A and B are shown apart, each in its own frame.
Chain A
């Protein structure tokens, strides 16, 4: 059992609720980004995070909320993967945050982003989740394995294959560039 899941025996319900609220404030941004990277446009990332956190809240007395980062990430990743397995999902409208400096940058950026995003979306769910946790969250292979309930060699394979598949999918675009 990891630190986040160890029972926080001394916590009162009031303190737990307070720590939960603090965790929500501190981690929502990263959690939303992780959910967005994993589910893409196949589900609402907001729904993923909200559902994952409400599941944790319902059993909040079981967890140690003093260091909740790992626990929250695990919950969101698992909820995202669960939702992707769910047969009834509605597509979410795609949004492209505009961060370009010039109109030309904008065109190039949007094109690059769109291609990479589409390629990532086509990866198998576990490959994508492992890659996001590795490259966006900078988690170690051991932490990723713990989050995904997999072995370290499995995680290594998933990440390696995800990168190779992405490379294949983006090869035409890279050549143009």
Chain B
């Protein structure tokens, strides 16, 4: 019988232990009846042995293995040192980033640092709220809770206690002056600005503020606001 590629492949798979059990019996039968195939099996085996011999020669010596192990351990130590340095560097980077962020936040909010993150009522206590002369100083007033009317807009028409108590008497002593009113949210962000002519009438300011509140761009913004900052005008020369 002529030897085919599939015969050789079957012999190799058999020697590899990969020939399916169903084909092993058939191969054995062929080997017992076909001397040419049996001869081929001997040849395939001989080739495997010569390769196996080569692979044995590739086995490293004890010294080579020890050298390799030493190199790997040394690499592991270097890796550990490097990893520690990277960890330290990461920590330093985090600290530096925090410092930069804090500095930037301070720089950006330098004009409204008086607001900070404290509640508006506390801010009133912390900042000089009253300008005795009513000139050139910042005055603040606080709304305790915004009141939502039927159309869903925020109104401050009924001023809470804090508003009335703090600056209005002082404001009232200034005759007819234009004030810049900034509405700020609890984080100190200015969400609205309006020029209001006081005309010596505190209640007029309250009403104008109320109108100003209802004209805010969106409810979500105005709901966050509970502080009104009133800048007194620059003193006239």
Contact = CB atoms under 8 A, between A and B. Distances in A.
Interface of A: 17, 20-21, 24-25, 28-29, 32-33, 36-37, 46, 49-50, 53-54, 57-58, 96-97, 99, 112-113, 116-117, 120, 131-132, 134-136, 140-141, 156, 159-160, 163-164, 166-167, 170
Contacts of B126: none
Given A25-B69, A28-B69, A135-B52, A36 B58 contact: yes
A29 to B, nearest CB: 5
Interface string B64-100: 1101110111011001000000000000000000000
B68 A49 contact: yes
Contact of A32 (B57, B65, B75): B65
For chain B, give the interface size range.
Answer: 20 to 34
Interface of B: 8-9, 12-13, 16-18, 44, 47-48, 50-61, 64-65, 67-69, 71-73, 75-76, 79
B10 to A, nearest CB: 10
Given A36-B60, A57-B79, A116 B65 contact: no
8 contacts: A28-B72, A112-B53, A116-B53, A135-B52, A141-B16, A156-B13, A163-B12, A167-B47
B72 A24 contact: yes
B60 A33 contact: yes
Q: Which 9 A-B pairs have the closest CB atoms?
A: A136-B55, A32-B60, A116-B54, A36-B58, A33-B58, A29-B65, A54-B75, A33-B59, A28-B65
A159 B47 CA distance: 13
Contact of A50 (B54, B59, B65, B72): B72
A123 to B, nearest CB: 11
